[in-house]
Structure 1
Amino acid sequence: MSSKSAIQLLKFFVYNPTLSKKEGEEEKNLMYYYPQDVPLDNKIKDVGLCEALVKFSRTFAADAPCESLHTQKTRQLFLEAEENYWLILVISIPTAQKVKDSQVYIEYHEDDVHDTVYMAVLKQAYQMQAVMARSTRWWQRPAWIHLKIRPESILSQRYLQTCVDRCDVLDVFNGMQFLPLDKNGYLRTQCFLNQTEASFPQVKYTAFLYNESLVWSDCSRVDIRILYKYLTTSLSLLHGSELQAGTCSPRNQARTSPTILGKFITGPPNLADTTNLGKVPRIFVNVDGKKSEECHLVVYRALSASVCLMVEGSYQLNFDFYRLLDQFLGPQLTVLASDIGEQYGKRLSAPATLATSTSYFQHMNLAEKSSLHARQRPHRGPRATRGRQANCRCETDLAMSGDDCELVVKGPGDCWVVARKKSDQRELYYVNQKCSNLIEIAEEVKKLCASHFNNIFFLD
């Protein structure tokens, strides 16, 4: 059997069936469509088919609309993000050539595509667009006009294809990786951000990241979750070299370097060039869960540390502000990033903090620890794919189970997956491809919990 083909983004479109009821004006219901070179008649037919499926499914359950359509070659996901506003994602089913009796067949692997995972991708795309749109209501016409003229929009082919390529069961959790620091390092970071807000009253909220791990933020949990996703996906796609550059710098490098090692990721690329202010995204953060506040998102990076500053939207950004910000942030962030890098380097050189093929998630603070994440391991072989399948099955079952439960799943081949859920909303997933029976896998899980989660009570 040949290797499997990759899952591809085939179509993505947004429509509202109530925008126009007149015959011959069906295209007015279509707000966004990828790919753009598809004939208009085909686009209208796709929208019409989705409308028909949604109406047909509601004859069976009025309050449970259609969520997915399974065919041999494609998988289609439906999301009613807001009333009458539908997001549709169409992806391909992976294939592989199989030879039987000297004949070559195409085998479709539909088990590799999980509705739960790709529905989570669709919901995240909506949430990010809602935060990044110019209008406080993502679906209003100004926001979508803005969307159509900006190919780098959140709902672009580049962003969605990347999500489709890299998504796994962890996208269902949509958690964040936290960087544990000692008390001194954590307090220094918090003090640095508080001093920044006090020195620059225009800055409303801040966040501090080291590589792709969150250290501290004063944003709400809802906002930082979406912002973290944006910073580690879309922004790293636009500025890959800056966000990925550097890991651990020697401690004395920052102290002996005659120049500031910081630069703006969003903002002026060169402070010496006063003609280029650069691009600064505008975001909307939730103030009280209902009201949204518009802010400029200014990201400044030194070595491997990034400071995210949410500047009030009414403030007019200018070069004087950027220069003062650079003079303030550059020296302090360079030294702080170097010191954190020293701790980070010790953690990397120490024994692994998490066993191979293990994922841990806590719903209370959205903390995520995993050795399976696609952003860290973009290439997945057949074994990893099988483990991901079983992992997703456990996640779905745990979501329907009560507190304090355990599931053990035997996947294809020799793949075992163990999932444990605790009453305080902590979940652990462990994939093993070496154990041959239930007794062996139980012993492995017991050792794992004793060595890495001894302060967390799991079922014995």
Structure 2
Amino acid sequence: MQLCIFDLRRGQQEGQELDKILFFFPADLPFATQLSVIGLSEGLITFTRIFSPDAACEVIEAERHSHVFYEAESDIWMVMVVDKSKESKAACQVDALRKVLKEVHSLFVLFHGTMRSMLEKETSGGLIRSHLYPFITDYLSDFLTGRKLQLPSFHDCLMERGTVQMLTVGREAAIEVQSLVKVLECSAGTTSCYSLVLFQDLLVSTTLSPDDTISLFTYAVLRLTPHALSSGATSWSYLQRTNAGSQVPALSTITNSGSVSDNIYRSRDASLDQENNCQVKRPLHHNRWFRGNDGFLASDIWGTDNGSQTSVTPIVYLQLTEERMYLCAYQHKSLTIILLVPVSSILNGEQGLSLVKQQVLENASLKMLMVEEKLSKGWGGENAYHVSGYRYLLVDDERVSRASPPAKVMTLAKESLLALSKLREEVNLEKKRAKCSNSEVNCDKELEICVRAKNGAWVIARTSRGKELYMVLEKASETLLYAADSVEKFSNRYCSGVFSLD
């Protein structure tokens, strides 16, 4: 696998071609090879724009490689080149790979702001490279299994990256959560603060925009929730693929690659000033968050405050406004609360922020205890959303997904997963066609596809009113009527009849 990020506005003069490279993995490849990959990508982007000027290129399938494209920002492209083999030809999920690129970009923007703003701040490109290399290598370490990168494949076709997984709560618990959110806002002393409430690895409440919610939810599940803090603990979230133990021997491969690139680019970017040579923060570094005595999470990633020697609170950027916010995370048992406080509203830095935390503890401690207790009583465990006889994925138009637990999905036969993976490709293709047609009728088009897999399982996809349902029925009858009836029952009971054909 090769992954590169390049800027089409840079390196257009002869002899300056290297300036366009912002990131390349593996970093120890010769520059000639890196430029060859990026040059080919540029050519494909330019060529496809002739036929589709309004829709960016997404994927090019060659005989030996799949080229996956994502225009992260204007003229800044992320490209993943995946080798094809006999085993991987049917395994690669192009849409899932694009969502990997989108996810790592959104996480980078969360902590560093946009790539374009960093390039405008320091035009040589040294600043953004010094941040991109450790950030993306830390991100890729989550995909390591042994010494191999396990990218999304047909095994993950009942998962949806780029969505949040919500916890279903009763009316009484929902009222308590709403009350807690109001208390948190009052304790922060500003109306422009935001909050995110999670239980286990599931979202309970958010006051953020959808894009910011997904970015912060993703980071929380990766590094902040109890499962993330407990080394080696298992999680049903697709975001936590491996445990810490399996990452240790293989991590050196990626880390060494990052250090090679760091040395190469530091030697080439002689214009880096003292400010840019400061220690680079690595928010995705493993095992760097811990729970303090007061319940707030802290990390040494951002250093310590000179006055009090306490850990510096991280600052994140909202996507729409690029407003800078302090990220304060509190944890009690399975409950994780993230409070975002505007940097502009805190006058004395860490001292002022400590007063906000004190107010939160004084005003909201009892509420947080009550919410955690109520959610725990109603929690059905890791298999809470398992439906006997079904393996399913439900995605709605608000970027919320629900799926069978990974442990249950693992019981499916390979043939079933391969059939579903191909089916999802067909659905994605239909969605793109509808989007390109710019027709409201086509965008709201209802779709139903039923396929019989080689092993006799029924693989089903239904889309209706912006919602999508994917299902595998391995123990269904041989008749299509029986399979359709099973989907109807599921839709009526768990989806309010959205996918019913009546």
Q: TM-score range by the shorter chain?
A: 0.7 to 0.9
- TM-score normalized by the length of structure 1: 0.77
The question of 1:174 aligning with 2:162 is answered yes
Equivalent residue for 2:402, pick from 343, 350, 369:
369
2:23 match: 32
Provide the rounded CA distance (Å) in 2 between the counterparts of 1:39 and 1:432. Answer: 49
Equivalent residue for 1:385, pick from 411, 417, 422:
417
2:140 match: 158
1:211 match: 200
The answer (yes or no) to whether the contact 1:361–1:426 under 8 Å persists in 2 is yes
2:458 match: 416
The answer (yes or no) to whether the contact 1:267–1:298 under 8 Å persists in 2 is no
The answer (yes or no) to whether the contact 2:107–2:219 under 8 Å persists in 1 is yes
Provide the rounded CA distance (Å) in 2 between the counterparts of 1:348 and 1:118. Answer: 26
Q: Which moved more, 1:352-361 or 1:42-51?
A: 352-361
Question: How far does residue 173 in structure 1 lie from its aligned partner after superposition?
Answer: 6.6
Equivalent residue for 1:396, pick from 419, 425, 428:
428
* Cα distance change of structure 1 residues 145 and 211 upon mapping to structure 2, 3 Å threshold: farther
1:299 match: 329
Q: How many residues are aligned here? A: 420
2:105 match: 126
**Cα deviation code 1:13-68 (max 9, x no counterpart):** 11113212222221111111122222222222222222223233344444455432
Question: How far does residue 195 in structure 1 lie from its aligned partner after superposition?
Answer: 0.8
Provide the rounded CA distance (Å) in 2 between the counterparts of 1:59 and 1:237. Answer: 50
The letter for the 2-side match of 1:217 is T
Which is bigger in relative contact order (C-alpha 8 A, separation at least 6)?
A: 2
- TM-score normalized by the length of structure 2: 0.71
For 2:361, what is the secondary structure of its paired residue?
helix
Provide the rounded CA distance (Å) in 2 between the counterparts of 1:54 and 1:351. Answer: 42
Provide the rounded CA distance (Å) in 1 between the counterparts of 2:181 and 2:63. Answer: 53
Provide the rounded CA distance (Å) in 1 between the counterparts of 2:324 and 2:420. Answer: 38
Provide the rounded CA distance (Å) in 2 between the counterparts of 1:378 and 1:145. Answer: 44
1:148 match: 129
Provide the rounded CA distance (Å) in 2 between the counterparts of 1:46 and 1:236. Answer: 38
1:360 match: 394
1:283 match: 316
**Cα deviation code 1:388-419 (max 9, x no counterpart):** 41441353255246533322123343232212
2:338 match: 308
Question: How far does residue 218 in structure 1 lie from its aligned partner after superposition?
Answer: 1.2
Provide the rounded CA distance (Å) in 2 between the counterparts of 1:137 and 1:157. Answer: 21
The letter for the 2-side match of 1:111 is A
Provide the rounded CA distance (Å) in 1 between the counterparts of 2:226 and 2:89. Answer: 29
The answer (yes or no) to whether the contact 2:187–2:360 under 8 Å persists in 1 is no
Question: How far does residue 205 in structure 1 lie from its aligned partner after superposition?
Answer: 0.6
The question of 1:220 aligning with 2:209 is answered yes
1:85 match: 76
Question: How far does residue 265 in structure 1 lie from its aligned partner after superposition?
Answer: 3.0
Question: How far does residue 302 in structure 1 lie from its aligned partner after superposition?
Answer: 0.9
The letter for the 2-side match of 1:230 is Y
| RMSD, aligned CA | 3.9
The answer (yes or no) to whether the contact 1:409–1:418 under 8 Å persists in 2 is yes
For 2:151, what is the secondary structure of its paired residue?
helix
Equivalent residue for 2:358, pick from 321, 324, 336:
324
* Cα distance change of structure 1 residues 216 and 86 upon mapping to structure 2, 3 Å threshold: same
Question: How far does residue 355 in structure 1 lie from its aligned partner after superposition?
Answer: 5.6
1:183 match: 171
Question: How far does residue 129 in structure 1 lie from its aligned partner after superposition?
Answer: 2.3
For 1:140, what is the secondary structure of its paired residue?
helix
Q: For structure 2, list consecutive stretches of 5 or more residues without a partner in the other structure.
A: 237-291, 435-441
1:19 match: 10
1:198 match: 186
1:114 match: 93
The letter for the 1-side match of 2:220 is L
For 1:111, what is the secondary structure of its paired residue?
coil
Question: What's the % identity of the aligned pairs?
Answer: 18
Question: How far does residue 357 in structure 1 lie from its aligned partner after superposition?
Answer: 0.7
Provide the rounded CA distance (Å) in 2 between the counterparts of 1:237 and 1:35. Answer: 32
